[in-house]
Amino acid sequence: MIYHTIALAAGFLLDLIFGDPRWLYHPVCLIGNLISVLEKGIRRIFPKTNAGELAGGVVETILVCLFSFGVPAVLLSLLYGHFPVAGVILETFWCYQLLATRSLKDESMKVYDRLVNGTIEEARYAVSMIVGRDTQELTDIGVTKAAVETVAENCSDGVIAPMIYMAIGGAPLMFLYKGINTMDSMLGYKNDKYLYFGRCSAKLDDVANFFPARISGWLMVAAAFVCGMDGKNAAKIYRRDRRNHASPNSAQTEAAMAGALDVQLAGNACYFGKLYEKPTIGDPIRAVEPEDIRRSNRLMYGTAFLGILICLIIRIAVGFWIL
């Protein structure tokens, strides 16, 4: 449908120009509220056993997916059936809200600003707003690495993956992806509370991100050449280190980013007071420095532009083929 193509292109541009519309309640927050409400109700119904937790998690996942996809699908179907212009406007606005290119840059640059113009305590606080690890003891290098890794990982989760799903199935499929992704961020912990209850949502998130993460990784390698970075090393490190993570998807873009910047990322990190030993990604060809946050954003933008270009070309080509 040409409407989806227009909405994707316009939504992408609006995101680049204006960033996240903070004056409006974000749809991901609505999905998050739904997840919390359903979790409380489901936990009261299902038995407090491993099997009960697992079954409850499956029900939670199914319900959130149905709501995430169904509500925007019904609304857009009604609008496109009677008021096509209104449908395009709404889908464009949703696309604008759900893409995070500008927001990712803005939030990471707050960390850069505090590293350069503020104190280490301020930089730690700024990076704590965008990462899940403990930040109280991070050095300036640790803060920088955390910010760069977040830009790399969220380039896939927050930009390329939703863009791909929008290109395939419009805003409803984009919302479905964001629902799955939000469930994983809220329920996908390997602790006593969510080991079984969050297992289904975590596995589904792995599946939903499998191809987008790999597409994002190769797009980032290509963007490294376009942006004048070390494209050859990006390709080398991507092929070598893209599996150096407990998640099958998270290291894909981190590896490409580390190679493009000629630095070493990842390694051991603390979460909730516990040290987790993690493999490194990339080679320490040079030391990590705050300027790498700016470089990571330039590479993320290059990746986003290549992604939207390919998505739009495919949609237009398919449209002409159907006609």
| Spatial contact of 275 and 125, defined as CB atoms under 8 Å apart | no
Local confidence band at 322 (pLDDT 50, 70, 90 cut-offs):
very low
Q: Which two tokens stand for residue 176?
A: 């479905």
Residue 315: exposure state from Cβ atoms within 10 A (0-12, 13-18, ≥19)? buried
How high is the mean pLDDT of the chain? 91
Local confidence band at 275 (pLDDT 50, 70, 90 cut-offs):
low
pLDDT at 74 over 50: yes
For 192, the enclosing helix (H) or strand (E) is none
Q: CA–CA separation, 297 vs 303, rounded Å?
A: 10
Q: What is the pLDDT of residues 171-200, one digit of tens each?
A: 999 999 999 999 998 998 888 888 999 999
Local confidence band at 1 (pLDDT 50, 70, 90 cut-offs):
low
Q: Which two tokens stand for residue 202?
A: 């975590």
Q: CA–CA separation, 214 vs 125, rounded Å?
A: 31
Q: CA–CA separation, 266 vs 250, rounded Å?
A: 11
In this prediction, what percent of the chain has a pLDDT beyond 70? 95
Q: CA–CA separation, 254 vs 265, rounded Å?
A: 8
| Spatial contact of 316 and 8, defined as CB atoms under 8 Å apart | no
Query: What is the distance between the terminal CA atoms of the chain, rounded to a whole angstrom?
Result: 11
Local confidence band at 323 (pLDDT 50, 70, 90 cut-offs):
very low
Q: CA–CA separation, 264 vs 240, rounded Å?
A: 13
Q: What is the pTM of this model?
A: 0.92
Q: CA–CA separation, 105 vs 87, rounded Å?
A: 29
| Spatial contact of 261 and 148, defined as CB atoms under 8 Å apart | yes
Give Cα separations from 5 to 66, 119, 164, 168, 184 (angstroms): 24, 45, 12, 10, 28
Listed residue (214, 295, 212) closest to 257, CA to CA: 295
The phi and psi torsions of 269 (rounded to 5 degrees) equal -150, 155
In this prediction, what percent of the chain has a pLDDT beyond 90? 78
Buried b (16+ CB within 10 A) or exposed e, 54-74: bbbbbebbebbbebbbebbbe
Q: Which two tokens stand for residue 162?
A: 């939703």
